[in-house]
Amino acid sequence: MKYVSKLAALVAVASMLPAGFALAQAPRITTGAELVSACTVAASASAEADDRIARASCHQFLAGLAAGVYASVEAGAPLIVRRLGPGMDEEVCFRLPEQLAFETFAQQVVAFAPEHPELYQRTAFEMGARTLAANYPCPE
């Protein structure tokens, strides 16, 4: 589907944007493990400086992913993401709700990850896409 490459480009661009004027550039998240780690911190109530940076990193990545999806498909339309898995031969399908709060998405990543340790060494994009597919599956 042509939307997948557009989505990947939007996520790549979003991951390079600064998290905000008040924060330093958030570290770039590339692996599933980095995403889970940052989102675990984001789900906590800590106000430590390192935690604020991790929170910003999680927010930046998830916001970019969600914004890319919302920009790629019509509202409520399913999105098939291909070229996942170790052989790049797997795909997932999901349909996002009208709105997806960052906090909700972060909590979903943290809840999904422990049951899928194989995704920790894969891309953060794959962890995010598979989390979305588990929480917002396409209709059969």
Note the pLDDT tens digit of each residue in 30-81. 999 999 999 999 888 766 767 888 889 999 999 999 999 999 888 778 999 9
pLDDT band at 132 (very low <50, low <70, confident <90, very high): very high
Is 3 within 8 Å of 68 (Cβ atoms)? no
Share in percent of the chain as helix, strand, coil (round to 5) = 55, 10, 35
Q: Helical H runs in 1-123?
A: 2-16, 32-42, 49-72, 102-112
Other C-beta atoms closer than 10 Å to the C-beta of 23 total: 16
Question: Does residue 133 register a pLDDT over 80?
Answer: yes
**What is the residue-averaged pLDDT of the chain?**
83
pTM: 0.79
pLDDT, position 7: 47
Pair of tokens at residue 10: 């939007």
pLDDT, position 5: 44
pLDDT, position 105: 95
Pair of tokens at residue 47: 């106000």
| Segment 105-133 mean pLDDT | 97
- Give percent of the chain above pLDDT 70: 79
pLDDT, position 12: 41
pLDDT, position 26: 63
pLDDT band at 23 (very low <50, low <70, confident <90, very high): very low
pLDDT, position 64: 94
pLDDT, position 6: 44
